[in-house]
């Protein structure tokens, strides 16, 4: 192609894009924990409503909130509750309104260990000790005499923050904890390391053992099954959220949100492996 036609092509391309942005696209950004579920929701919904286009991006809960504040997304997927600091920036950006929070699913955080690991159960206190680096060897927990390798998540992960706040009670992870870029990476690493321990969504099943957890030293250990999580017996669980600018919460976006929280959307939650909302939180 010679120079002239190249310039012509470029001008054409640029010209067509300066035209106004077409409406009808819902942008969804945020948690990687939620992204597979969000994609499934988007796909099924678009199948039923072909005039709506939904675009899903991951990047972490923090990315989602940053995008919400910058108004570069309509919906923000979050695997943790929004923080007051983030509410403040949203208020500044949304002209005084706080972002609306919707609960969309329930998730249990499993503790992964290798299938070869003889340890059968752990308590919350022991978990705190392990992941802050105080307990360094499996033999202190009744396992083999081998050092514990910790697998954690990236800083940008809501899973990381949730675990730090609720299981470690705000204490730091041991600095030797390996930060893996995704829950699947944690799972894979633990599957290949017989002295490894990691955490992640209960949805990512295959490859490692999910340990039953004792809420405290005296109580029996509870498995991360649906019944236990929804019944709030399993101690490590959380809601998964979607946040939206109240000014945008109408029309197509509101319809999509209602669909997600209704029975149809919640059916898909089970398929992906999370736990559907109990009836009181659903959209009727």
Partner 1 sequence: MNSPALSSRHFRATKFDFGSFFFTGLTGLATLCILGILAVILFNIVAAGLPAISWRFISTIPKKDFFEPATTGVLPMILGTSIRVIVMTLFVIPIGVITAIYLTEYAPNLSPVTRVIRAAVNNLAGVPSIVFGLFGVGFFINFIGQGMDRALGHESVVWGQPALLWASLTLAVMTLPVVIVATEESLKAIPMGLREGSLALGATKLQTILRVVLPQALPGIMTGGILAISRAAGEVAPILLTGVAYYMADLPTKLSDQFMDLGYHVFVLSTQSPDIEKTRPITFATVLVLLVLTFALNFVAIIIRARVRKKLRALG
Partner 2 sequence: MQPQGKRPIGWMGIHRGHRAHPFEWLAEKAIFLVSLSAILMVLLIFVFVAREAIPVMFGRMDSALIQPIIPPDETDMHPPEKIREYLGLTKQQFTAMDKDIIRTLMEVKVDAQNEIPPSFRTDPDAKLNTTEWRYLLQPYQWTGYEKPAYIWQPVGQIHKYNIVPLFVGTLKTTAVGLLFAVPLAIGAAIYVSQLARPRAREIIKPTIELLSGIPSVVVGFFALLVMATFLQSIFGYQTRLNAFVAGIALSFAVIPIVFSIAEDALTSVPRSYTQAALALGASRWQTAWQIILPAALPGVFAAIVLGFGRAIGETMIILMVTSASEMSWSLFSGARSITATIAAEMGEVVRGGHHYRMLFLLGALLFAATFVTNMVAEIIMLRFKRRLEGKR
56 touches partner 2 by CB under 8 A = no
170 binds, among partner 1, partner 2, none (CB under 5 to 8 A by kind): partner 2
- Helix extents (H) in 78-170: 84-93, 124-131, 158-166
How many Cα atoms within 13 Å fall on the side-chain side of residue 132?
16
51 binds, among partner 1, partner 2, none (CB under 5 to 8 A by kind): none
114 touches partner 2 by CB under 8 A = no
Sole residue written with tokens 């003889």: 118
196 touches partner 1 by CB under 8 A = no
Closest by CA position to 242, among listed 256, 226, 227: 256
178 binds, among partner 1, partner 2, none (CB under 5 to 8 A by kind): partner 2
Closest by CA position to 203, among listed 79, 28, 58: 79
6 touches partner 1 by CB under 8 A = yes
77 binds, among partner 2, partner 1, none (CB under 5 to 8 A by kind): none
The number of beta carbons lying within 10 Å of the beta carbon of residue 3 is 7
- Give the interface size with partner 2 as a residue count (CB under 8 A): 47
Supply the minimum distance, in Å, between the C-beta of residue 121 and partner 2.
Answer: 24
Q: Which stretch binds partner 2 (CB under 8 A): 56-64, 214-222, 226-234, 240-248?
A: 56-64
Instruction: State the burial class of residue 154 (Cβ atoms within 10 Å of its Cβ: 0-12, 13-18, 19+).
Output: middle
Near partner 2 in 215-274, by CB under 8 A: none
Closer residue to partner 2, CB minimum distance, 65 or 275 = 65
Closer residue to partner 1, CB minimum distance, 70 or 137 = 70
DSSP strand E in the chain: where? 25-30, 53-59, 75-78, 100-113, 122-123, 149-153, 178-180, 196-201, 209-210, 213-214, 237-244
Tokens of 32: 């990687």
Rule CB under 8 A: which residues touch partner 1? 6, 9-10, 13-14, 16-18, 21, 32, 35-36, 39-40, 42-43, 46, 53-59, 67, 70-72, 180-185, 187-188, 203-207, 273
């Amino acid at each position: 192609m010679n120079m002239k036609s190249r310039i012509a092509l470029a001008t054409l391309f640029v010209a067509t894009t300066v035209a106004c942005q077409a409406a009808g696209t819902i942008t969804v950004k945020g948690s990687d924990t939620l992204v597979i579920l969000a994609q499934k929701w988007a796909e099924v919904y678009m199948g039923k409503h072909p005039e709506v286009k939904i675009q899903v991006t991951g990047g972490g809960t923090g990315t989602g909130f940053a995008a919400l504040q910058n108004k570069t997304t309509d919906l923000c997927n979050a695997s943790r509750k929004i923080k007051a600091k983030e509410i403040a920036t949203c208020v500044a950006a949304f002209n005084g309104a706080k972002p609306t929070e919707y609960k969309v699913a329930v998730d249990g955080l499993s503790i992964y260990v290798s299938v070869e690991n003889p340890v059968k159960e752990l308590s919350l206190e022991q978990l705190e000790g392990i992941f802050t680096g105080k307990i360094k060897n499996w033999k202190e927990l009744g396992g083999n005499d081998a050092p514990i390798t910790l697998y954690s998540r990236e800083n940008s992960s809501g899973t990381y923050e949730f675990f730090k706040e609720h299981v470690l009670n705000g204490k730091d992870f041991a600095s030797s904890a390996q930060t893996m870029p995704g829950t699947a990476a944690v799972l894979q690493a633990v599957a290949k390391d017989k002295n490894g321990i990691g955490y992640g969504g209960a949805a990512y099943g295959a490859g490692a053992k999910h340990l039953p957890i004792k809420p405290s030293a005296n109580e029996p250990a509870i498995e991360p099954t649906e019944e236990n999580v929804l019944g709030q017996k399993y101690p490590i669980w959380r809601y998964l959220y979607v946040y939206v600018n109240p000014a945008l919460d109408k029309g197509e976006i509101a319809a999509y949100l209602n669909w997600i929280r209704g029975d149809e959307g919640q059916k898909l939650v089970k398929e992906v492996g999370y736990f559907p909302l109990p009836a009181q939180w659903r959209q009727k």
